[in-house]
Amino acid sequence: MSTKQTLIATTNTWFNKLMTLKQHMVKFNLWVVVAFLVSSQATFAGNILVVMSDVSQMKLKGGYDYKTGFYLNELMEPVKIFMDAGHTLTFATPTGIAPTLDPVSDTRQHFLDESQKNYNAHKALFNRLMLTDKKHSPVVSFARIKQIGIDKFDAVFVPGGHAPLGDLVANDLLSEFLHHFHAKLKPTGLVCHGPVALLSSLPNSAQFEAEMRAGKKAKPGKGWIYAGYNMTVFSNTEETTATKYYLGGDQLFYWPQNAITNAGGNYSRNKKDWTPHVVVDRELVTGQNNKSSTGVAKELLKLLNNN
């Protein structure tokens, strides 16, 4: 074979090897892309808005000034679940004031897992977040959320405690937020007294609240976005117990179960008080009481991952 023929043969051999290598690289890159897409879907990191009350004291029906706030486990069980799943959380109250921890809630007995180890883990995370720190709290106002753009958030969560009855029942900005989450079918989770925040989306929320506080049978305006939804909230029998032991013998102006039912929600509850009861209807996830917080968080994540 001549030198020229040898050179041509060698060149052809190397060319074929390069083409084979290129084909393998294309397949490899394709697998990398597929693996990335699958991984991204499995570990989707969403932006969750956590809406809280900034009320720390409420005047009750008989004039008693009741110290209130959010319940530790109702906030921190979901927060830890969301953070462990890789989601970003933004905390907001109506005016941007740091929220208050309800003192009676700071106990392991309110958690679904009542072990000291579980309580310690959640309390440590709570302390690191500094949510109630008047100087360093990361909490922002509803007005700031509107500036950021409510469309930037993939889900919303509202914990309980009696505080939501103070400033989340008839809030115009909260109404805008809820209308957005409803229209886009974005997961909306609320637990215990938290579901009363849904009343802000009533077209006549202020009037409805005033009628409830006056002891009248409040009439909802037409077009409530959650009318006919299956939902739950802190039950009347549980509120009876709370009134006896926590409210200093005084009473709330109205009870959440009655308000949700009057507004047009399809209410359900567990047969046994203080046991988990979670209701999922379309984008809405509601929990009856403090023992339902974990269940609400898990169901909200399911919806978020399926969106």
- pLDDT, tens only, 18-63: 455 455 444 344 343 333 333 343 456 799 999 999 999 999 999 9
Alpha helix positions (H), the chain: 3-42, 72-84, 116-129, 142-148, 164-167, 172-183, 205-213, 236-246, 256-263, 293-306
Query: 46-306 has which fold?
Result: Rossmann fold (3.40.50)
**The pair of three-digit structure tokens given for residue 305, joined into one six-digit string:** 């991952």
pLDDT given for residue 249 in this prediction: 84
pLDDT given for residue 45 in this prediction: 78
**The pair of three-digit structure tokens given for residue 259, joined into one six-digit string:** 């308000």
DSSP 55: -
Computed over every residue of the chain, the mean pLDDT equals 90
Answer yes or no: are the C-beta atoms of 273 and 232 closer than 8 Å. Answer: no
Whole-number Å distance between alpha carbons of 86 and 142: 24
285 phi, psi to nearest 5 deg:
-125, 120
Tell me the chain's radius of gyration from C-alpha atoms.
Answer: 26
> Exposure of 26 by Cβ count < 10 A (0-12 exposed, 13-18 middle, 19+ buried)?
exposed
In the sheet with 278-281, reading across from the earlier edge strand, the strands are 140-141, 88-93, 47-51, 155-158, 188-191, 284-287, 278-281
pLDDT given for residue 173 in this prediction: 98
**The pair of three-digit structure tokens given for residue 117, joined into one six-digit string:** 């180890």
pLDDT given for residue 28 in this prediction: 40
Whole-number Å distance between alpha carbons of 207 and 213: 10
Three-class secondary structure of residue 287 per DSSP: strand
What's the sign of the alpha-carbon dihedral 56, 57, 61, 64?
Answer: positive
**The pair of three-digit structure tokens given for residue 61, joined into one six-digit string:** 């029906």
Which of the residues in the chain have pLDDT under 70?
A: 1-44
pLDDT given for residue 248 in this prediction: 81
Three-class secondary structure of residue 113 per DSSP: coil
Whole-number Å distance between alpha carbons of 16 and 46: 47
Q: Which amino acid is at 76?
A: M
